[in-house]
Structure 1
Amino acid sequence: MSGPIQTILRRVRRGSRDVIENAVSQLFDAAVQPHGVADSGEYRIDELARLAGTTTRNIRVYRDRGLLHPPLRVGRIALFNDTHLTRLRLITSLLDRGYNIAHVKEMLSAWEQGKDLGDLLGLESAIAGSWATEKPQRMALSAARRLIDDPAGFDRLVSLDIIRLDDGEQATIMRPTLVDAFIEIRQYGVALDKLIDLHEQVAPLLDQISAILVQAGVEEVVDKINPGAAMPGDVEVAQLITTLVRFRTQAVTAVGATLASSIEAQVESVVTQMLGDLIEKQAAAGE
């Protein structure tokens, strides 16, 4: 990764870490207030569902599972307040990140008991879930060498930290999806050296794209949560955190779609050129 890109990423992390951690902490604080705290809004269940972007059925499930505090009862009418709305937005945000209902309940309960956010989720997880789509795979060093089946290529992958050598006779495949792709493409006769060369050419370009996207996502929040100024309202904070939570998925989808479209166009262009050249050669041979 180039120096300027590293500088950008460090600045993004350093400039946003405390601000966003504080925002997430305050959001959790607002979401776990005990019932009875004065709130400005009162909502029936259908209105609460509309404001939170969910369904009345989901709200009832969350209530039954203990994720939402009981509503205020006025006769036969159940009234919810802004604490319910904030908590409901947070629940939806966590579920969107892949946590299940049991995990969400555990996190909210832990926060109510005073546990630290960093201990509970980890800062990166609290901000935007797990950004790493791959889980490293640990195996015996001998098995890793057999998997790659190319001593020189194996050493190059180690130097790129795609494979990490652990103490003793163990190795960790840090990028298993990438390694699997290399192995599959090699079946078509492409040398591992060439695949690693391509990776080294493409990786810095992807780092630049990632830096631009991450910075854009962080700026969206930092611009609205000004350090030193009063925090926005609970609902707005919930919306900002949800923006960050969903940013990763949408960014990956957008980049993936753009890359797929670009590759498709390039393949079509190359194939057309190859066929055109072949037709010209055949025509010239027949003259």
Structure 2
Amino acid sequence: MAEYRIEELARVSGSSVRNIRVYQDRGLLPPPFRQGRTAIYTDAHLARLRLVTNMLGRGYAFAQIAEMLAAWESGRSLADVLGMEEAMGTPWTTELPTPITVRQLRQMFGSQLTPANTRKALELGLLRRAGLGFVAPSPRLLEAGHELVKLGVPLGEALTLADEMQREVDHVASLLVGLIRRYVLDPKGDDWLPKGDEVPYYADVLRRLPPVVISALTAAVARSTARVLPDMVGDRLEALLRSSR
């Protein structure tokens, strides 16, 4: 089980230290554990924080969220609740957000790191502000963009591609997760939250879900790339043959 100090929890979750403290004061986030004078948060806190943030984004008020969380927790032991939330908070990737300076970004993207492209990267969540610099939530995506620019793709076009690609992947991932919800988590209706002794089973499902979704998406992308690249190369060869006649 991962452990976080409050600053680390804020960085990993994409929230802020101030918001975390507000959620604790409102009873939406359990208090941290104590190791001496140090406050320690876990994956269970991370899952709860993401759940609260999601519900706030959907327009629920603090009081409504607190009422729903209390209703879910009623009749369940602390071990059950923490076990479920730890499963929900298990990272789907080993990537960690990485601090990056403006100087490093300029070394990567040169004159294409314009204010407009920087704003676009921030809007897409590819960068987050952190003091005088930034944080890259996904260093792999940042490096992929760097490689595209090195190949000659304009940074603005790479950012547009990232936006389109994320929306397409969100759609496919939601289809996969939707199947799990429909047939495994909630075969009888809309109330998919576990009841009583079902908690360990649902926690196990949530732990097994990330590698299934990631494997399916990775395999699908590999198959598509294997089909698309030969088509592209074939088109180029055909054009060269026509021009040589």
Q: State the shift of 1:145 in Å.
A: 4.0
State the match for 2:153 in structure 1: 190
Q: State the shift of 1:186 in Å.
A: 2.1
User: What is the CA deviation profile of residues 98-139 of structure 1, one whole-angstrom value per residue up to 9, with x for unaligned ones?
Assistant: xxxxxxxxxxxxxxxxxx72xxx793x432611354311124
State which of 139, 153, 175 in structure 2 corresponds to 1:176.
139
Does residue 271 of structure 1 match 2:233? yes
State the one-letter code of the partner of 1:281. Answer: S
- Asked whether the 8 Å contact 2:84–2:202 carries over to 1, the reply is no
State the match for 2:118 in structure 1: 154
Q: State the shift of 1:173 in Å.
A: 1.4
State the match for 1:215 in structure 2: 178
- Asked whether the 8 Å contact 2:126–2:136 carries over to 1, the reply is yes
Distance 1:10 1:224, change over 3 A: farther
User: What is the CA deviation profile of residues 154-209 of structure 1, one whole-angstrom value per residue up to 9, with x for unaligned ones?
Assistant: 33212322111223x13111221111111122222222222112112222111212
Distance 1:280 1:142, change over 3 A: closer
CA distance in 2, matches of 1:241, 1:229: 11
The structure with the larger Rg is 1
State the one-letter code of the partner of 1:199. Answer: A
- Asked whether the 8 Å contact 2:105–2:113 carries over to 1, the reply is no
State which of 145, 150, 163 in structure 1 corresponds to 2:127.
163
Unmatched segments (≥5 aa) in structure 1: 1-5, 30-115
Unmatched segments (≥5 aa) in structure 2: 1-53, 60-64
Q: State the shift of 1:280 in Å.
A: 3.1
Does residue 131 of structure 1 match 2:95? no
Distance 1:230 1:172, change over 3 A: closer
State the one-letter code of the partner of 1:280. Answer: R
State the one-letter code of the partner of 1:249. Answer: P
State the match for 1:245 in structure 2: 207
Distance 1:201 1:27, change over 3 A: same
CA distance in 2, matches of 1:161, 1:193: 15
Q: Secondary structure at the match of 2:151?
A: coil
Distance 1:18 1:209, change over 3 A: farther
Distance 1:249 1:18, change over 3 A: farther
State the one-letter code of the partner of 2:95. Answer: E
- Asked whether the 8 Å contact 1:145–1:151 carries over to 2, the reply is yes
Task: Give the alignment's Cα RMSD to 1 decimal.
Answer: 3.9
- Asked whether the 8 Å contact 1:182–1:195 carries over to 2, the reply is yes
Q: Which has the higher contact order (CA 8 A, sep 6+)?
A: 1
- Asked whether the 8 Å contact 1:162–1:174 carries over to 2, the reply is yes
- Asked whether the 8 Å contact 1:139–1:171 carries over to 2, the reply is yes
Task: Kindly report which structure 2 residues correspond to 1:57-68, keeping only aligned pairs within 5 A, or say none.
Answer: none
Residue correspondences, number: 178
- Asked whether the 8 Å contact 2:181–2:192 carries over to 1, the reply is no
State the TM-score, normalized to the length of structure 1.
0.50
Distance 1:231 1:214, change over 3 A: same
CA distance in 2, matches of 1:224, 1:268: 46
